[in-house]
Structure 1
Amino acid sequence: MKPRNLAAILTLPKQQRFGAMAEGLQLLAEHVGTLRDDLAHLQEAQRSRGAAVIDGLASEEAAKILILLDVARMGWDDNPAVARQIKSIISHRVRGIYGRVIEGRPASFGEVRRYADSLRRSHYLDGPNDVDWIFRNVVEAEREESLYVDYVTSEGVSFWMTPASGSELRLELWPSMVIDLTLALHRLGCTSEEGLTIIADEWKGESLEDSTHWSVVEGINTAIFDRLNAAGLCSDALTASDVRLAREHWIFPLGSLELSEIKVTHADLQAQREQWLADQW
């Protein structure tokens, strides 16, 4: 048995791929929905640390749904790009980027690209003056700090970190939007084989530039949702809130973006900080 082998889908004839993907998408949606229910129980019980773990896991599983839906939006014409997209599903960083970028309301594809690039950086400066301290990648740090007790070193100072720190402050912020967005798309019928075919058909021939406006995506989403409804693919459990969430936050496809890590050294950041200090004088 070979785990994490989604790339094997590319060995199937093209006409069978959406069927295989739809099977996995249905299983993912069921898993995300179950975890969301468990999260609600933990929130009610004020079990913030357990809630953080479940929300993080459910968010990553939900992000897998968005990654696979982007495969449909890409189509099968560019095999190297599709292969890269499919393989990215195992990356915690990529899943975390997907979970974060959908929370905004970007006006253009360029905004999405710039935000995604900021989430790819291995280290960055932040603080009251934006340069005070060096932090590790925000996606990876947030994930691991909710899961593990760890002994860390930051700018020469070592100390213990625990998931107990700050989890109570986030208790009311869950579930993360990516969870509800993907469940909404599932109830709309996007995760079915016919739904994937409709998505691919509506995105066929479309290309994205940094200047591409949100209205382009909004128009395509509307066409997809209308066709899903006309085909009887929408769930009886679909709500007006689901439709609104999907319309507003199923943003630009990320399949054409480079989402690998951007290496940033401490020396680079220290030089940036020293330049900022020099500019103040």
Structure 2
Amino acid sequence: MLCNMPRAAQLDLLAEGLPIILKSAQGFWNAAVQLSDHSREARVLEGFCEEECAKIVILMDLVRCPKKLASSRAGKLTSVFYDHLGRLIYAEAQNWKPVNLAQLREYVDHSREGHYLEGYAGEYIVPNWSRYSRESTLYADIELHEDGQPYWNEPTQLGAIALGIPPPVLSLAEAMSALGLFDRRGLQAVADVWNQLEFVGTENFEDSRRLTGELFDRLDAEQLVTEAATDRHPGWIQNNWQMPMYNLEFREIPMKLSDLKAQQEAMLWSEIGYERGDY
């Protein structure tokens, strides 16, 4: 739907929907903190909250996308919006501190690998952790070990959520709301300011902070900052809103077992001080 809408109509729709998504996220979080005696269920609700907030930052990346790219990126971002792994990566990425967009791309690419190696010398082949931790907490299911033997997964019993501290991505979304970014005029301000620069590779966090500062000036000039705003909210956006990721890929990268086995062998010989072919 968003792919085929004019830019103004996109912003109209998002101004209506972003507060709805935030309310949904807050509802999940408020329920989670009530379940102190049910850690697994609290974690599930916390995860739902984070995924709802991820939807917000995904849509805000559509707004930050330069006008010349908006129509071509809308389809990709819509796909990420509806994909669990994409949402999980988006939520986690708000906590990362890459040097520039090129390094951020490396982080994202690693996070979307379907399987990877763990252990002292890569002796374990494990599934994508973001997806696995979500599903193993949600569901009882039959899983397979590397040797093909099936076993039952009992949903993970995790520790209590951290002292009732909201997920960072929720605090970020609430800061956006409080400072007026979800207002229709606020979204227009975001679009106008971020239209100046496409984030492709060498752009960095200082570029992002500079544009965010310009955005704050615009929000203040247009009196869009709400009464809910506090002194902490600008810092949440300046320091925790990741660089735009509309030029990155979020589809899972399938990993061949043969490639993983080759990596295992290389890691093993590296640990014992040989390069493959030296023996």
Tell me, yes or no, if the aligned pair for 1:25 and 1:65 is still in contact at 8 Å.
yes
What residue in structure 2 maps to residue 237 of structure 1? Answer: 228
**In structure 2, do the counterparts of structure 1 residues 127 and 164 end up closer, same or farther at CA, with 3 Å as the change threshold?**
same
Q: Distance in 1 between matches of 2:207 and 2:92?
A: 21
Matched to 1:97, the amino acid is I
Instruction: Identify which of 203, 214, 229 aligns with 1:212.
Output: 203
1:88 aligns with 2:80: yes
Tell me, yes or no, if the aligned pair for 1:55 and 1:174 is still in contact at 8 Å.
no
Tell me, yes or no, if the aligned pair for 1:46 and 1:171 is still in contact at 8 Å.
no
What residue in structure 2 maps to residue 73 of structure 1? Answer: 64
What residue in structure 2 maps to residue 34 of structure 1? Answer: 27
What residue in structure 2 maps to residue 4 of structure 1? Answer: none
RMSD of aligned C-alpha atoms? 1.8
Tell me the CA shift for residue 46 of structure 1.
3.3
Matched to 2:218, the amino acid is R
Is the deviation greater in 213-222 or in 200-209? 200-209
Is the deviation greater in 100-109 or in 167-176? 167-176
Name structure 2 gaps, 5 residues minimum: 275-279
What residue in structure 2 maps to residue 122 of structure 1? Answer: 114
Tell me the CA shift for residue 173 of structure 1.
7.9
Instruction: Identify which of 124, 136, 148 aligns with 1:133.
Output: 124
1:175 aligns with 2:166: yes
Q: Distance in 2 between matches of 1:159 and 1:219?
A: 52
Tell me, yes or no, if the aligned pair for 1:33 and 1:183 is still in contact at 8 Å.
no
Please give the per-residue CA displacement for 1:156-180, whole angstroms capped at 9, x wherever unaligned.
Answer: 2432222243x11655485321122
**In structure 2, do the counterparts of structure 1 residues 146 and 235 end up closer, same or farther at CA, with 3 Å as the change threshold?**
farther
Is the deviation greater in 220-229 or in 56-65? 220-229
1:248 aligns with 2:235: no
Tell me, yes or no, if the aligned pair for 2:66 and 2:198 is still in contact at 8 Å.
no
What residue in structure 1 maps to residue 277 of structure 2? Answer: none
Report the 3-state secondary structure (helix = DSSP H, G, I; strand = E; otherwise coil) of the residue aligned with 2:181: coil
What residue in structure 2 maps to residue 112 of structure 1? Answer: 104
Please give the per-residue CA displacement for 1:112-171, whole angstroms capped at 9, x wherever unaligned.
Answer: 111100011010001233x12111112211211121112211212432222243x11655
Please give the per-residue CA displacement for 1:62-106, whole angstroms capped at 9, x wherever unaligned.
Answer: 000001000010144222222221232101111011011111222
Q: Distance in 1 between matches of 2:31 and 2:266?
A: 49
What residue in structure 2 maps to residue 5 of structure 1? Answer: none
Tell me, yes or no, if the aligned pair for 1:99 and 1:178 is still in contact at 8 Å.
yes
TM-score normalized with structure 1 length: 0.89
Report the 3-state secondary structure (helix = DSSP H, G, I; strand = E; otherwise coil) of the residue aligned with 2:220: helix
Please give the per-residue CA displacement for 1:6-58, whole angstroms capped at 9, x wherever unaligned.
Answer: xx13433432220111111111111112222222222xx33211111111111
**In structure 2, do the counterparts of structure 1 residues 275 and 164 end up closer, same or farther at CA, with 3 Å as the change threshold?**
closer
Tell me, yes or no, if the aligned pair for 1:67 and 1:85 is still in contact at 8 Å.
yes
TM-score normalized with structure 2 length: 0.90
How much identity, in percent, do the aligned residues show? 27
Aligned residues: 270
**In structure 2, do the counterparts of structure 1 residues 46 and 244 end up closer, same or farther at CA, with 3 Å as the change threshold?**
farther
Tell me the CA shift for residue 227 of structure 1.
1.5
Q: Distance in 2 between matches of 1:268 and 1:99?
A: 29
